Amino acid sequence: MSKAGDDILAENANWSFGGNVADAFDVHVEKSVPFYHEGHDLVARIADFFLANGSVCYELGCATGRLTAVLAERNIHKSVRFVGIENQERMVEHARRRCDGLSQVTILQEDILSAQLENADLIISYYTIQFIRPRWRQDVINRIYKALNWGGAFVMFEKVRAPDARFQDMMTTIYHDVKLAHGYTPEEIVGKARSLKGVLEPFSTQGNTGLLQRAGFVDFTTVFKYVCWEGFLAIK
Q: Taking the domains of the chain in order of start, what are their residue ranges?
A: 33-161+202-235
- In CATH, what class is 33-161+202-235? alpha beta
Helix/strand/coil for 42: helix
Tens of pLDDT along 92-139? 999 999 999 999 999 999 999 999 999 999 999 999 999 999 999 999
Which residue stretches of 36-84 are H helix? 36-47, 66-74
CB 53 within 8 A of CB 46: no
Contact partners, residue 38, CB within 8 Å, separation at least 6:
none
CB 84 within 8 A of CB 107: yes
> What is the rounded distance in angstroms from the CA atom of residue 105 to the CA atom of residue 150?
23
Q: What amino acid is encoded at 90 in this protein?
A: R
> What is the rounded distance in angstroms from the CA atom of residue 10 to the CA atom of residue 38?
27
Tens of pLDDT along 158-179? 999 999 999 999 999 999 999 9
Q: What amino acid is encoded at 55 in this protein?
A: S
Tens of pLDDT along 180-220? 999 999 999 999 999 999 999 999 999 999 999 999 999 99
Tens of pLDDT along 56-76? 999 999 999 999 999 999 999
> What is the rounded distance in angstroms from the CA atom of residue 53 to the CA atom of residue 207?
35
pTM: 0.96
CB 121 within 8 A of CB 52: yes
Q: Which DSSP helix (H) or strand (E) runs through 120? A: strand 120-126
- Bridge partners, residue 229, by sequence: 159, 226
